[in-house]
């Protein structure tokens, strides 16, 4: 994971804790929230790994039961070891495996971000996350007006907060920071949407960012 990708993930968690008093947040307030955000990441990763372990244990128990109740093993003498039996991969088991993969991916991501913040890259990750947050704090009215302007037909107050936060991060970078190539900012916003928001969020966010880019004449 690149440091700035970690910064965006951290900024996303930071934004999730912002309230309507964003204009009054100091750098110190934001740094405190970042520390809390890292703790949240680590705690969430721990819980997700526990979930993965629970699903794996459940799958193992179901396989053991399936094996023990197979005709081959029901007819074996008591006390003898079960013989492995053929097993068809059912849709239910596929769903459980997908669940394990999903929570494991999120846990790994959280631990990677925490590692970035703990090692040599920590200042770069923290600095850029703060830069995004401060850009939004200083320009939140204009950024939110852009979201309202290009989300015609949608009530801004009823938009999914995760979508608004992803757009706020991307617009802070595109319109005010201007340090990262436009395509990278958009791609990273879509990745955040895929990981954290609804099925329709990717196309919604992509559409708004495309309009902002065109109307503001942004170029890489």
| Distance from C-alpha of 164 to C-alpha of 22, rounded to nearest angstrom | 14
Tokens of 97: 């495996």
Buried b (16+ CB within 10 A) or exposed e, 88-119: eeeeeeeebeeebeebbebbebbbbbbebbee
| 3-state secondary structure at position 125 | helix
What domains are defined for the chain? Answer: 3-215 (1.10.940.10)
Chain segment 40-68, per-residue pLDDT in tens: 777 777 777 777 777 778 878 888 888 88
Is the Cβ–Cβ distance between 98 and 52 less than 8 Å?
no
The conformational region for residue 137 under phi > 0 = left, psi -120 to 50 = alpha, else beta, is alpha
Give the helix ranges, DSSP H, for 69-181.
71-74, 91-118, 122-150, 161-171
pTM: 0.70
- Percent pLDDT > 90 in the chain is 32
Mean pLDDT, range 95-118, rounded to an integer: 68
Higher pLDDT, 82 or 119: 82
Tokens of 167: 């757009």
| Residue 178 DSSP one-character state | -
* Distance, C-alpha 209 to centroid of its chain: 19
């Amino acid at each position: 994971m690149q440091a700035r990708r970690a910064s965006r993930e951290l900024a996303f968690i930071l934004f999730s804790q912002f309230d309507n008093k964003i204009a009054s947040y100091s750098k110190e307030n934001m740094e405190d929230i970042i520390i809390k955000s890292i703790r949240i990441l680590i705690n969430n990763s721990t819980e997700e790994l526990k979930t993965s372990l629970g699903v794996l244990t459940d799958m193992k128990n179901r396989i053991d039961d399936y094996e023990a109740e197979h005709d081959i093993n029901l007819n074996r003498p008591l006390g003898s070891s079960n013989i492995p039996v053929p097993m068809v991969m059912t849709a239910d088991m596929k769903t459980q495996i997908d669940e394990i993969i999903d929570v494991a991916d999120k846990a790994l991501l959280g631990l990677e971000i925490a590692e970035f913040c703990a090692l040599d890259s920590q200042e770069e990750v923290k600095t850029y996350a703060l830069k995004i947050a401060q850009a939004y704090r200083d320009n939140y009215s204009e950024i939110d007006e852009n979201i309202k302007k290009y989300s015609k037909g949608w009530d801004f107050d009823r938009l999914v907060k995760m979508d608004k936060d992803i757009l706020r991060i991307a617009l802070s970078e595109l319109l005010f920071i201007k340090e990262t190539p436009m395509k990278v900012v958009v791609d990273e916003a879509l990745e955040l949407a895929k990981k954290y928001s609804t099925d329709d969020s990717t196309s919604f966010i992509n559409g708004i960012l495309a309009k902002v880019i065109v109307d503001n004449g942004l170029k890489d």
